[in-house]
Chain A
Amino acid sequence: MIDKTLPLSEVTSKIESGMTVGIGGWGSRRKPMALVRELLRSDITDLTVVAFGGPDVGLLARAGKIRKLVYGFVSLDSIPLDPNFTRARERGEIPETSEYDEGMFVAGLKAGANRLSFQPIRAGLGSDVLMMNPDLKTVKSPYDDEEYVAVPGLRLDVSLIHLNRADAAGNGQYLGPDPYFDDLFAMAADTTIMSVEQVVSTADLTAKAPPQTLLVPRIFVNHVVETPGGAHFTLCEPDYGRDEAFQKAYAAAARSEDDWTAFESRFLSGDEAAYQAAVETFTNEGDTK
């Protein structure tokens, strides 16, 4: 069997400044946060980020790593807005944005995955999405009088996704209620880096779960990173839910310069092991209160 496992510390050797990076998950759900944290620790910058945004976008925006953001929304779910993202937008720190309707975003991903230059969709007609994306064109139907928005195919240099399990060959499995669009992100990318809670044998993938949980086939995966807690503080059901206390602390810290500096030095100044240890301390402190 091909072994595609890669240590977390080597992930950023596969990513370069200026690349277009797709990030899987949805809002504050099953985000490849350990991979994002590696990006934060690196010198990589000038990224075009394509995501249904959550704290991945918030953190990268706060760190000044995003040159262009392609998104349908940015939300922490249980907290509607990510203050790091809103702050960056209100200060003009994200130089370029493509804000799409969610369905348009999916259409763009599908087109990218299919190597098509666009996919037609009704969404966007009549709305200011066309005003905010002046490059967007509409297309006339060759069959009748209909007109559609031609969403350009979103082709990605690298996709980062996080699943529950995988084998070393890169077959990825999700065990929660929703696949989000992680397989599409993988198919639309030249290189896919998939982090998982646990790497198991191929046979173990289907020992307790049905084969239809095998979401991402290895032909679309280049690297597999085993990183338990790799989606923290977003949810990764059924392995763990969202860490609401930590998310609250994240959002609160983002609202003040001093608090953010303290948050960064406490949680984001070391490696992933240091992060997980700091989170454990944070959680235990919460228990004693």
Chain B
Amino acid sequence: MTAVTTTATRADVCVAAVSDAFKDSGEVLAHAVGIVPAIGVRLAKATHTPELALSDGEAFMMSEAPPLLKTAAAGGTPEAWVPFRSIFDIVASGRRHSMMGASQIDRHGNQNISSIGDWRQPKRQLIGVRGAPGNTVNHRVDYWVAKHSARIFVDSVDVISGVGNDRATGTAGRFHDLGVVVTNLAVFGYDESGLIKVSSIHPGVTPEELQEATGFEIDASDAPLTREPTPEELAIIEAEDPKGLRHKEVPE
């Protein structure tokens, strides 16, 4: 076998960061919205968390995942039947870990996918709150932002779909568990007071660039670099995404 020198792209760095986010998830259903998250949970299952349960995005849990972005009809091995009707029971049981998208997110981790502007007559109607309110009061939720910008990282979101740390009071806070926000520029966590903080900055991104793309003040001056995937991980990533769809979601 000839040695192949592979270098990690920005998309690969993001995939590894997603994988790391699922490290202590345990035997739960991984819910991943987006191409990079979909590859990331597969990488997590293939490496440090083999007990993770993957979905085909439709009606089945898969012991062996179908081709990327395809359902069980296209391949893989189903291990359980989980139609939409059982998903909300799984959500309420807490045996799930989501990585969702965000059209807006604020420093408390409040997320919006519903609409922009006044909800009565929105400037831009988006998809609706979907499962975000239920996910965030029931189980661990991370966010994935493929195009980090000051329009997404805002002072305050227009419709709180996913519940942030400041709103997770009373019963709403019992199972509330925001983990990380992975973007094409950096990885964020939350500090003791629940505010977003930079955990790491991707190789090639400057703190100035990150601040400029964020609508509120952040401190990236001491941020370490996000780790690059190992050659073994890169091989898995390549095998899961031979067409390189991740590079379309996160261009260099």
Contacts and interface: CB of A to CB of B under 8 A. Distances in A.
Interface of A: 26, 71-75, 80-81, 85-86, 89-92, 99-104, 106-107, 121-129, 131-132, 145-148, 177-181, 184, 237
Contacts of B131: 72, 101-103, 123
Interface of B: 58-60, 71-73, 83-85, 88, 91-92, 114-115, 119-134, 136-138, 159-163, 167-176
Which secondary structure characterizes the binding site on chain B? loop
B125 A73 contact: no
Contacts of A123: 91-92, 131, 133-134, 137-138
A74 B172 contact: no
A86 B125 contact: yes
A89 to B, nearest CB: 4
Contact of A103 (B124, B134, B160, B161): B134
Nearest to A128: B160
A127 B133 contact: yes
Contacts of A89: 115, 121-122, 125
Given A126-B168, A127-B136, A81 B91 contact: no
B237 to A, nearest CB: 25
Given A101-B129, A103-B92, A125 B119 contact: no
A104 to B, nearest CB: 7
Contact of B167 (A92, A100, A127): A127
B125 A85 contact: yes
B155 to A, nearest CB: 16
Given A73-B130, A122-B138, A147-B170, A180 B123 contact: no
A26 B131 CA distance: 14
B38 to A, nearest CB: 16
Contact of A73 (B91, B127, B174): B127
Contacts of B121: 89-92
B129 A106 contact: no
